[in-house]
Structure 1
Amino acid sequence: MNCVCIIDDDKELCALMKKCMEQEDLQVITAHSGVDGLFFMEKQKQKAPLSLIVLDVMLPDLDGFQVLQKIRERDNTPVLMLTAKDGEDDKVTGLSLGADDYLTKPFSIKELMARVHSLIRRYTTLNPGFPIEADCITLKDMVIDKTNRMVFVHQLPVELTGKEFELLSFLASNKGQIFTKKQIYTQVWEDAYAFDDSNIMSFISKLRKKIEPDPEHPFYILTVRGVGYRFNREA
Structure 2
Amino acid sequence: MNKILIIDDDRELCALIKRSVQSENIEADFCNTGREGLQKLKEQEYQLVVLDVMMPGMDGFETLEEIRKENSLPILMFTSKNDSASKVRGLRAGADDYLTKPFDMDELIARIASLIRRYTRFNQQIGAVQKLDFDGLQIDLENRSVTTENGAFELPPKEFDLLLYCAKHQGKILTKQQIYEEVWGEEYFY
> TM-score higher than 0.5 here?
yes
The question of 1:76 aligning with 2:66 is answered no
- Assess if the C-alpha contact under 8 Å between 1:126 and 1:152 holds in 2: no
Q: Letter of the aligned partner of 1:142 in structure 2?
A: K
- Assess if the C-alpha contact under 8 Å between 1:128 and 1:143 holds in 2: no
Output the CA distance in 1 between the equivalents of 2:84 and 2:50. Answer: 19
Please tell me the root mean square deviation across aligned C-alpha atoms, in Å. Answer: 2.8
Matched with 1:202 is: none
Whose Rg is larger?
A: 1
Output the CA distance in 1 between the equivalents of 2:56 and 2:147. Answer: 46
Matched with 1:107 is: 103
Which digits, 9 at most, give the CA deviation of each residue in 1:6-52, with x for residues without a partner?
001111110000001111111111001111111111111xxxx3110
- Cα deviation for residue 126 of structure 1 reads 1.1
Matched with 1:25 is: 25
TM-score, scaled to structure 1: 0.57
For 1:154-165, what aligned pairs fall within 5 Å after superposition? 154=141
Matched with 2:166 is: none
Unaligned runs of 5+ in 2: 156-190
Judged with a 3 Å threshold, the aligned counterparts in structure 2 of structure 1 residues 92 and 18 are, in CA distance, closer, same or farther, namely same
Which digits, 9 at most, give the CA deviation of each residue in 1:160-191, with x for residues without a partner?
9xxxxxxxxxxxxxxxxxxxxxxxxxxxxxxx
Aligned length: 150
Which digits, 9 at most, give the CA deviation of each residue in 1:173-219, with x for residues without a partner?
xxxxxxxxxxxxxxxxxxxxxxxxxxxxxxxxx79x35x869xxxxx
TM-score, scaled to structure 2: 0.70
Matched with 1:138 is: 128
Output the CA distance in 2 between the equivalents of 1:18 and 1:91. Answer: 24
Judged with a 3 Å threshold, the aligned counterparts in structure 2 of structure 1 residues 52 and 152 are, in CA distance, closer, same or farther, namely farther
Unaligned runs of 5+ in 1: 131-136, 145-149, 161-205, 215-235
- Identity percentage over the alignment? 42
Determine helix, strand or coil for the equivalent of 1:138. coil
Matched with 2:62 is: 66
